[in-house]
Structure 1
């Protein structure tokens, strides 16, 4: 239902990159992809942009960006999670900062919910508002009318926060890793561009519905997720009862971390595991390969945002390689060192030059 918002944000990104192309200046792609995913998600949630151009409420945007910065900074595990004695001693003070951050987030999100209630009341909760599809908040408020005890404001705020935290930095990071790999492997970039040219042509921008017909683009994304999974340890799970795994006794109530990065990069599972070879996924359907490839987890506890992530990453990556040729800054290969964080970001933001492809000049003039 919110497909149009994602299309609009990708087109906005393409316009910004086109200006950078004309000015022949390097682009900070970490910022570009982060702002793209953040604006798309927040417009789907609340109908508002908080980054880049056309930010209507400057002070609100400043507060939001501050909350996001603190969330990403404090989101990593604390040593107190694994050595409780340190938590009891108050080492690091992480819990106090998290409590204050949660208070700020609750206040901000509740303000958005209250705004949604005003809009919802003004048009009676219909499916369309002046030709625009309802935001996620408005959809949840419609459910709140029917089941107020279940769809509480607290639940709505929690769903907003989950989508914001899990659906932005992860997708932006995957896009940044994918473009980094393509810059270091220009033959793969050319092959992906050729596939898009043959299937889409040069008169329209790639759409989410096209991804199913672009198998090599899907291979590139799969190989990126294999080498640099957005959740290298997946999300923490807990054993519901005592069990034995690989000869080790696991008591009930144990925090379990699945090292999916190790599985994805294990030479026992993959030939030339350290090499970027999208072709290895030719013929593989979807974004899983048994338990060798599972970037979104598996089973009941698999990532519920997989469908949205695949749409965002596929259409955004396809669009930037459809419209531009890409060059590294300097002659050296892009540094692929991994940084610290739950979503395994790059150690250094990706800087790159883009140049508008002559074959899509007419398309770019219409975006």
Structure 2
């Protein structure tokens, strides 16, 4: 379980940083929230995460646009049923294309645009369920969300970030079971806080 969560957490944080570097106004708003809710006098703690509402929306939106698991684990139908007017026999394997659901123009206005919004990602809202849903949802979901939020909050709180030459980040995806960014993510970091913090 731990091994399964390492690359996905890394990919989630990387995608969020890449999106923020391509949307600097969102990055500024996130850092303003950190300064307001945490201050520049101390480091971010786990207790601060609940107050960082905009940062939570950023993480959810990055999970929508760049799901680390674009295809959810396969499921087998245990009984004959009808789905959307199609007869599905017992024993049929189903693979849910989460990426396609996340890009559905009937659900999302401008589905390819990065617009942080508040939405449930824990499997109760079927427009966005990066961890699956129901009894077979990802067992590490709560830990993953907390880790991504804490790592991203700490990084954005401590550093001013940009790209070399302020160039946009290449958002192409790699091929594999985990959706990783294809090109290396080059980030220029400068301290935002005093060295003792």
The answer for the alignment partner of 2:70 in structure 1 is 232
Residue 286 of structure 1: CA displacement? 5.8
Residue 252 of structure 1: CA displacement? 1.9
TM-superposition CA deviations, 1:46-69 (whole Å, max 9, x none): xxxxxxxxxxxxxxxxxxxxxxxx
The answer for the alignment partner of 2:60 in structure 1 is 222
The answer for the alignment partner of 1:175 in structure 2 is 13
Structure 1, unpaired ranges of 5+: 1-161
Q: Structure 1 residues 170, 225: closer, same or farther in 2, change over 3 A? A: same
Q: Structure 1 residues 289, 269: closer, same or farther in 2, change over 3 A? A: farther
Q: Structure 1 residues 176, 194: closer, same or farther in 2, change over 3 A? A: same
Instruction: Tell me if the contact between 1:339 and 1:347 (Cα under 8 Å) persists in the aligned partners.
Output: yes
Give the structure with the larger helix fraction.
1
The answer for the alignment partner of 1:164 in structure 2 is 3
Structure 1 CA distance for aligned equivalents of residues 181 and 109 of structure 2: 24
The answer for the alignment partner of 1:199 in structure 2 is 37
Structure 2 CA distance for aligned equivalents of residues 232 and 169 of structure 1: 14
Structure 1 CA distance for aligned equivalents of residues 111 and 94 of structure 2: 25
TM-score for the superposition, normalised by structure 1: 0.52
**Higher RCO (C-alpha under 8 Å, 6+ residues apart):** 2
The answer for the alignment partner of 2:96 in structure 1 is 258
Structure 2 CA distance for aligned equivalents of residues 312 and 294 of structure 1: 18
TM-superposition CA deviations, 1:275-296 (whole Å, max 9, x none): 1011x32xx4565562101111
Q: Structure 1 residues 229, 330: closer, same or farther in 2, change over 3 A? A: same
The answer for the alignment partner of 1:324 in structure 2 is 159
The answer for the alignment partner of 2:196 in structure 1 is 365
TM-score for the superposition, normalised by structure 2: 0.94
Structure 2 CA distance for aligned equivalents of residues 288 and 221 of structure 1: 15
Structure 2 CA distance for aligned equivalents of residues 164 and 171 of structure 1: 10
What is the Cα-based RMSD across aligned positions, in Å? 1.5
Structure 1 CA distance for aligned equivalents of residues 121 and 37 of structure 2: 19
Count residues with an aligned counterpart.
197
Which SS does the other structure have where 1:341 is aligned?
coil
The answer for the alignment partner of 1:209 in structure 2 is 47
Q: Structure 1 residues 288, 205: closer, same or farther in 2, change over 3 A? A: farther
1:310 aligns with 2:126: no
Bigger Rg, structure 1 or 2: 1
Residue 330 of structure 1: CA displacement? 3.1
Instruction: Tell me if the contact between 2:123 and 2:137 (Cα under 8 Å) persists in the aligned partners.
Output: no
Instruction: Tell me if the contact between 2:164 and 2:186 (Cα under 8 Å) persists in the aligned partners.
Output: yes
